Amino acid sequence: MTIQDILPATGIKVIASATSKKRLFHDLGDMAETCFGLDHTTVVDALMDRESLGPTGVGHGVALPHARLPGLTKVCGLFLRLKKSIDFDAVDRQPIDLAFALFAPQDAGVEHLKALALVSRTLRDENICTKLRANEDPSTIYTILTEMSAAQAA
């Protein structure tokens, strides 16, 4: 599995509007509706429910919100780069500016975990995060994410 398998080129945005975790989830709901035909409210509710179990802010300015959703047949993802960091209750108590959301079918087992591990490994790389933060063009960000993921898989 590579980032290309789960992240469409249209699933990347650079935004300035996110001012809170809830607003970020609404932005992700809008994107999931556009990219995958998912119901906005269902996506936001699922992300909020998952977040209530424990924060998905993994540290170093990165969040990996994720949820299982009805109607999906495979794991899919979206990426947001925030122009202004927001509080996300991350494990290191630092604000986040990079968010990679994953959505999985309700019955997804190991594929969901593989996707989380792949994204986590990719965004743990300081060089990748530095490049992501230095770019505002979604196609450049997509290239950074997919080239690094492909190199790691090789």
Instruction: For residue 4, give the nearest of 62, 79, 72, 66 by alpha carbon.
Output: 79
By annotation, the residues acting in catalysis are 66
Give the bridge partners for 101, in sequence order.
78
Cα angle, residue 148 at apex, residues 143 and 154 outer, rounded to 5°:
125
Query: What single string gives the DSSP state of each residue in 7-19?
Result: --TTSEEEES---
Buried b (16+ CB within 10 A) or exposed e, 122-143: bbeeeebbebbeebeebeebbe
- Name the 3-class secondary structure at 69: strand
